[in-house]
Amino acid sequence: MSNRFSLEGKTVVLTGAGGFFGRYFTKAFLDEGAKVILIDISMEGMESFLKEYGNRYQLFFVDLYDRKEAQECYDQIIFANKVNVLVNNAFDFGKKTGFNTQDGKLGNATYEQLLASFESGAYWAIQATQTVGFAMKKHGSGSIINISSMYAISVPPPNLYEGTDRFNPPGYSMAKAGLLQFTKYAASFLSPEVRVNAISPGAIPNLEKKAHNSISENDPVLQKLSKKILLQRMGHPRDLTGGLIYLASDASSYVTGQNIVIDGGFTIT
Ligand SMILES: NC(=O)c1ccc[n+]([C@@H]2O[C@H](COP(=O)([O-])OP(=O)(O)OC[C@H]3O[C@@H](n4cnc5c(N)ncnc54)[C@H](O)[C@@H]3O)[C@@H](O)[C@H]2O)c1
């Protein structure tokens, strides 16, 4: 029987490839047989695990805020490759978008923070779609997967961050909700050749390593969040890879304009 989930012979472009999810996504795509083109501003320590996969990967170090640099990267990629899958996964979780800072809160959030949230949470996906998505349409097939968030559908309760330095700003929900609507818009205009779908992950904390988004298992934010999760545990990036491979592969050949929510039931209560 043929494996409809196989990505053998397919080329995947993945943004935010050096991040927490990006590393698991890269590995999942490589394990399914794909060639992966990785884009990120930083991909520290990735070469060691990528070495196992021979020459089935290529790295592009790009600051996606630099629209010219990003455009040159996408143009170079589509010139040299027939891309089958595009995953828009990068997001800037820094102070620029108002994360984990008092001045990111609703009463204080600046125009610049909201604009950066839009750029990072929606425009980066739009720019990649305009280039790579249209190249796929020209080639006659392709799948685009936009990584949105549970906070595109629900919102953080105000007491979640009380007594901590953490904060999830209004621009994040705004941009990720916009990304879901853009997913449907692009699905309409790129059809029938290209399918465009989204994944909305739930609470998937980085408990692994000292990174900008690392958090301790005992952090009060996680304790409060976990009470709302029907499956009674935090998510892991591996919880997303089944949906990711499904949307990337021929197994989802009749699915477009959809959003798969992978959140342990967080958003239905
Ligand atoms: N972790 C979660 O709980 C969670 C939940 C819902 C949605 N998401 C979404 O999943 C995606 C991945 O999140 P993550 O937890 O892996 O975060 P992460 O910060 O570990 O990964 C994001 C990646 O984007 C890259 N990036 C940031 N600014 C960039 C720039 N200017 N140019 C190029 N690359 C840049 C970072 O370097 C990083 O590697 C994001 O879109 C996020 O919104 C995450």
Q: Measured between alpha carbons, how far is 102 from 15 in angstroms, rounded to an integer?
A: 28
Helices (H), 169-264: 170-190, 220-226, 238-248
- Note the pLDDT of residue 48: 87
Nearest CA to ligand 1 atom 25: 16
In the chain, what are the helix, strand and coil shares in percent, each to the nearest 5?
45, 15, 40
Mean pLDDT of the chain: 95
Q: Which residues contact 93 (CB under 8 A, 6 or more apart)?
A: 99, 212, 213
For ligand 1, say whether the CB of 214 is within 6 Å of any of its atoms: no
- Note the pLDDT of residue 1: 58
Q: Is 257 left (phi over 0), alpha (psi -120 to 50) or beta?
A: left
For ligand 1, say whether the CB of 64 is within 6 Å of any of its atoms: yes
Cα→Cα distances 125→31, 56, 175, Å: 25, 24, 11
Q: Which is it for strands 142-147 and 11-15: parallel, antiparallel or unpaired?
A: unpaired
Closest atom of ligand 1 relative to the 235 alpha carbon: 3
- Note the pLDDT of residue 237: 98
Q: Which CATH superfamily is domain 11-264 in?
A: NAD(P)-binding Rossmann-like Domain (3.40.50.720)
Helices (runs of H) and strands (runs of E) counted in the chain:
9, 7
Q: Which of 15, 38, 40 to mutate to test the pocket of ligand 1 (most atoms within 8 A of CB)?
A: 40
Supply the pTM of this predicted model: 0.98
Tell me which residues of the chain have a pLDDT lower than 50: none
